[in-house]
């Protein structure tokens, strides 16, 4: 993950930005990053909504910086190895959602859908915002779309199948 010639600081940035190396896994690094968001989501939920929101905001802010530094270290904008943006995007997806097998599964699928399809303005942000903000904002925006869709799905499921959630 961290090669010779890198400083300790650069290695720490790479570790954070790649989700402790998950971004190096083959084929679907964004999906691996999203999966890494699940235990973080569950951990943040243990402290209630204030802890969840605070943790998500702090992690996202640190991630903007880490993703920007990773852009410089890798010498490429939004490298597929950088998955901290997917982790934070998934946390946004699950904000104010009761964690459970069904909601996490739906949230995961919805976030990956919006992150891959990139409907406006997700795709615009992805193509036009530089640095760490550009890496992070498209996934955070995809997370907002996924969260709104998930909230609607929860309401529909709760009316059609009361007690399932």
The 10 Å Cβ neighbour count of residue 98 is 11
Is the pLDDT at 57 greater than 70? The verdict is yes
Mean model confidence pLDDT for the chain: 94
The 10 Å Cβ neighbour count of residue 109 is 15
pLDDT, position 23: 93
**CB 14 within 8 Å of CB 73:** yes
Q: What is the mean pLDDT of residues 44-54?
A: 97
pLDDT, position 126: 86
Q: What is the mean pLDDT of residues 65-78?
A: 94
Largest CA distance in the chain: 58
Using the structure block, give the residue that is written with the tokens 């399932």.
164
pTM of this prediction?
A: 0.94
Is the pLDDT at 15 greater than 70? The verdict is yes
3-state secondary structure at position 93: helix
């Amino acid at each position: 993950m961290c090669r010779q010639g890198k400083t300790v600081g650069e290695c720490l940035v790479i570790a954070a930005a790649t989700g402790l190396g998950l971004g190096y896994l083959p084929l679907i690094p964004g999906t691996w990053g999203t999966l890494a968001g699940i235990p973080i989501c569950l951990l943040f939920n243990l402290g209630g909504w204030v802890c969840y929101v605070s943790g998500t905001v702090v992690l996202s802010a640190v991630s903007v910086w880490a993703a920007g530094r990773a852009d410089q270290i890798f010498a490429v904008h939004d490298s597929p190895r950088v998955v901290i943006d997917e982790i934070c995007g998934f946390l946004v997806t699950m904000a104010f959602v009761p964690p459970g097998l069904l909601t996490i599964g739906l949230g995961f699928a919805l976030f990956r859908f919006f992150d891959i399809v990139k409907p406006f303005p997700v795709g615009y942000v992805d193509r036009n915002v530089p640095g760490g903000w550009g890496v992070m904002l498209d996934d955070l925006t995809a997370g907002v779309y996924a969260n709104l869709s998930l909230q609607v799905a929860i309401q529909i499921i709760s009316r059609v199948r009361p007690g399932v959630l």
